[in-house]
Structure 1
């Protein structure tokens, strides 16, 4: 979406903030956010690598931001090139200045999926409010951006939790391999395959999609049959949203219930095996652009962090590389 001569990527709506001059970013429109479970409503305010994009046309551009949570990192990119000058937001508005690095101006924009003259402020952490943008600028054109879009839905693993940087999550890495812009709808602790979110996802413009379904559902007690019903609708809806887009339905990645005796696993109403088999069956019966991809084939146990749920940076790389191979990119 575009607002005030700035492009907001992976942002579904900019909502006015009571008692403030700013607008709060959220990854889905308010009508969709309100339809989700309580935790998902909250995490849709978290950016998951959403970006503020513009092209300076005469000198520098000043951007004033805050994070009500006080925990967001702003990672500037110029096209594909990450700046080492990361900015950290607090609860009070702060103004940051951005100007095209001199060496970047000598690059040929036609050589890159993202033109180097495009400033991309990737947001990583808590919620973000945009207060002001000053300076001569314009939104990037289609020619300055990737010509493909990649849609990712899943849990905190898709969101990028436990990755040590915004560009180290598996969706970001896979997007780079595919030469695609990433639409990340990951929902930490709350990926319950709501039909309203499926409908919204299917309305987006995407050329490839991954649906990692869903360790959150088995963890909170959804039966296999309820998972099957919800996952079937989500997979089929996204597949039908663009029949030409390949859709990878990813079964549960390996987690503690697969590898250790754990009281939490003993209390689950289903098993990882049952969930994985259900998703394979859904994919087999879905439209022809859907294929099942086994999570344990993408991620080895050694790629997990110590909670034996979330991948480390190494594990995120394993997932991205495996999915790239699945989509025909080495």
Structure 2
């Protein structure tokens, strides 16, 4: 969306609060139809971006957080090497493209998905509380043009693994890594602990017009659901999203490897069945839908090395995320080429 003189990417709505505008990944009317945990998660701004071009003059972006929020600066695909942790007090960030990038001949960057003059403040990482935009100041600021942005639009729905938990930065979660390998623009709709295939979320993803590749990672957050309810919910989401536009590629991903695959259980959890049954239920949902644009990808084929997990044996580390992004992008390339 365009807000004043910048683009707010992966932001569906801004809501007035605390003297500014809170960035939300889904509209408020959709948020209120989601499960209680998802209502909180979609306020977390993972892979939300404030994007703009300011070629000659510095610009100033003032932000605050409803807790703490990590912000990483990129110029196009180039890491700006600036990291900020935004707190409750409004913080102003000064931004200007580095001189060396200004000197870079376009011949060398013409095949990059982002133009190097696009300044990108990317939210997410270890700290991900709701972010509030207070002010945009400077001369000559404008939103990026379409030709300065990727033409491929990739939407991802899933759990905390999609959301980007335990990553050192928003560019390191597996969906961001997938987007990097595809040369795509990422819409991250991960909802940590709350990926329950809500009908309202299925409707919202299906109705969006701004993506042409989508992945649905369904869903370790539902391993406590009775299998019949799991089947019902994933079948609804899969059919709703895939049938909405048969020109779009949709890939469903089975459960990634986690501690239950290694004969470890959480004594405080109630399970509806073993992981294999949930994986099979998603396979069945995809097969029953039988659409040419709908595909299945096995989660264990994306994360192949147990050492790529953190010590909770469910969330991937940066190393695991990087492997997953490389493998998932390879799978998706084979589907779209």
Question: Could you tell me the TM-score, scaled by structure 1's length?
Answer: 0.95
Structure 2: how far apart are the matches of 1:76 and 1:272? Answer: 39
**Cα deviation digits, residues 122-160 of structure 1 (max 9, x gap):** 011221000000012000010000001001000000011
Structure 1: how far apart are the matches of 2:280 and 2:76? Answer: 41
CA positional deviation for 1:261: 3.2
Query: Structure 2 stretches of 5 or more lacking a match?
Result: none
Task: Point out the more displaced range, 235-244 or 30-39.
Answer: 235-244
> Greater share of strand residues, 1 or 2?
2
Say if 2:186 is the partner of 1:182: yes
Task: Point out the more displaced range, 146-155 or 198-207.
Answer: 198-207
* 1:192–1:157 CA distance, 2 compared to 1 (3 A): same
Contact 2:23 2:130 in 1 (8 A): yes
Find the counterpart in structure 2 of residue 195 from structure 1: 199
2:89 to 89, 92, 101: 92
CA positional deviation for 1:294: 1.0
Find the counterpart in structure 1 of residue 301 from structure 2: 297
CA positional deviation for 1:281: 0.8
Structure 2: how far apart are the matches of 1:169 and 1:145? Answer: 20
Contact 1:207 1:242 in 2 (8 A): no
Contact 2:55 2:96 in 1 (8 A): no
Contact 1:72 1:90 in 2 (8 A): yes
Task: Point out the more displaced range, 197-206 or 236-245.
Answer: 236-245
Contact 2:14 2:24 in 1 (8 A): yes
CA positional deviation for 1:297: 1.3
Find the counterpart in structure 2 of residue 76 from structure 1: 73
The SS at the match of 2:333 is coil
Structure 2: how far apart are the matches of 1:165 and 1:319? Answer: 16
Contact 2:77 2:114 in 1 (8 A): yes
CA positional deviation for 1:93: 0.4
Query: Structure 1 stretches of 5 or more lacking a match?
Result: none
**Cα deviation digits, residues 259-314 of structure 1 (max 9, x gap):** 03324398312221110000001111222211111111111322211101111111
Contact 2:54 2:96 in 1 (8 A): yes
Structure 1: how far apart are the matches of 2:138 and 2:149? Answer: 22
Task: Point out the more displaced range, 240-249 or 44-53.
Answer: 240-249
Structure 2: how far apart are the matches of 1:246 and 1:211? Answer: 11
Structure 1: how far apart are the matches of 2:136 and 2:146? Answer: 22
Find the counterpart in structure 1 of residue 8 from structure 2: 8
Find the counterpart in structure 1 of residue 170 from structure 2: 166
Structure 1: how far apart are the matches of 2:269 and 2:175? Answer: 31
Structure 1: how far apart are the matches of 2:294 and 2:319? Answer: 27
CA positional deviation for 1:58: 4.1
* Residue-pair matches, total: 325
Find the counterpart in structure 1 of residue 25 from structure 2: 27
**Structure 1: which 4+ aligned runs deviate by more than 3 Å?**
263-267
The SS at the match of 2:71 is strand
